[in-house]
Structure 1
Amino acid sequence: MRDQIHRLIHALKYQKHPSIGRNIGCELFTRIQNVLDFSTIDYLIPVPLHKKREHERGFNQSHFIALGLQSRYKNLKILDAVHRVKYTYSQVALNSDERRQNVSDAFSLNRRKQNCIAGASIAIIDDVLTTGATSLACASVLKNAGAERVVIITAAFA
């Protein structure tokens, strides 16, 4: 199963098949609905890509995973509340410390969404979790903005 999800994520990201992201999100919902009560989640926040990387890829894979989750639980709202303000290098070859350094100060809050975040229960959506550096950097931005609860939902572990 692990190899299969990694192949799917590779196809999603590098062979440019965003519909795979929706399918992954649907399957993810099925697998975790018994351990996460989605009725307690106010917003899904996909880990953002830098504008340059999103332009190169043509889409944000985490957003499509979030769309799949949303299709299975209609009350979920996707919120563009975090921006990637620093272009970061691919983290594939980086160790844990290098990953943390790479994403340090890479994210900021979309100030127009700050009122939504205060007191909210947030689920960060990430495609692959290796050390958690990226998701934790996003979570820090959200907690500093007043989010009451932040959970991380990932499609795969590296």
Structure 2
Amino acid sequence: MVDKNLKKIILENDIDIIIPVPLNKKRLLSRGFNQVSFILDILNIEYSKIVRVKNTKHMSLLLDKNMRKHNISKAFYIPIDINKKNILIIDDIITTGSTIKEIIKELKISGTPKSITIFTFSMAHSYKKSF
């Protein structure tokens, strides 16, 4: 089901670049893999990597929205050309949206994307209500 929905979004939005949200180095070493990249590999979907340059605290430990925002601030580096590209950001879970918002901010600082689409496997009920 995920593969059909994801591939449909890629086609319908004419996606040029797919970006999985990167883990910080400590979490990647302890887990051994990035679950989003792993799923994309299984589905044989090509993606580009951005760099997480800041080892942030685990977001689930931060209950305050402002603390989450501060924690994730300036945590990403965009080493790819995103100008005039349709971008798809994929994350495993969106709770408050702080991580996604920070990546979007960094994308817009590093270039001029044509569009940015978000795909997640799970979303907090409280975040869904914010739409």
**TM-score with structure 2 length normalisation?**
0.80
Do the aligned residues in 1 keep the contact of 2:40 with 2:46 (CA within 8 Å)? no
Q: Is the Cα contact below 8 Å between 1:66 and 1:125 reproduced in 2?
A: no
Give ranges in structure 2 of 5+ residues lacking alignment.
125-131
Cα distance in 2, alignment partners of residues 37 and 49 from structure 1: 23
Shift of 1:108: 1.2
Contact 1:50-1:86 at 8 Å conserved across structures: yes
The secondary structure found in structure 2 opposite 1:92 is helix
Give the aligned length. Answer: 121
1:77 pairs with one of 15, 40, 46 = 46
If the length of structure 1 is used for normalisation, what is the TM-score? 0.68
Distance 1:66 1:149 in 2: 21
1:102 alignment partner, SS class: helix
CA shift, 1:66, in A, is 2.8
What residue number does 1:109 align with? Answer: 78
Listed as ranges, the matches of 1:80-99 within 5 Å are 80=49, 82-94=50-62, 95-99=64-68
Aligned equivalents of 2:10 and 2:47: distance in 1? 17
Report the counterpart of residue 67 of structure 1 in structure 2: 41
Q: Which amino acid aligns with 2:38?
A: F
Amino acid at match of 2:66: D
Q: CA shift at 1:128, angstroms? A: 0.4
Query: In the alignment, which residue of structure 2 is the partner of 1:38?
Result: 11
Match of 2:97 among 132, 136, 139: 132
Aligned to 1:152: 118
2:107 maps to: 142
Q: 1:37 Cα deviation (Å)?
A: 5.1
In structure 1, list runs of 5 or more residues that go unmatched.
Answer: 1-26
The residue matched to 2:59 in structure 1 has which SS? coil
Q: Stretches of 4+ moved more than 4 A in 1?
A: none
Identity among equivalent positions (%) equals: 35
**Residue 148 of structure 1: how far off its partner (Å):** 1.5
Higher percent of residues as helix: 1
